[in-house]
Amino acid sequence: MVTAAGVFARGTVLVISAVVGGALVAAATTVSTSVAALVALVVAAATVAGVVGVGVMGTTTTTPYW
């Protein structure tokens, strides 16, 4: 037998589940974005350091360091 209380209880559980699920997805997305941003930052920093290193070594020594 379907009652208003039963429908309300099921609806409440669904809403809570949706909110918690949404929060988990948002958290996972944020973490993924942060990790991707961190990786991109490290790659960019390494690239700049590599270019600067090659430039500096190239101008200060006659033998390339690689």
Interval 28-43: pLDDT, tens = 888 888 888 888 888 8
CB-based contact 46:53 (threshold 8 Å): no
Location of structure tokens 């809570």 = 16
Write the single-letter amino acid at 54: V
**Does the pTM exceed 0.85?**
no
pLDDT tens-digit profile of 40-54? 888 888 887 777 666
Cα 56 to Cα 33: distance, rounded to the nearest angstrom: 34
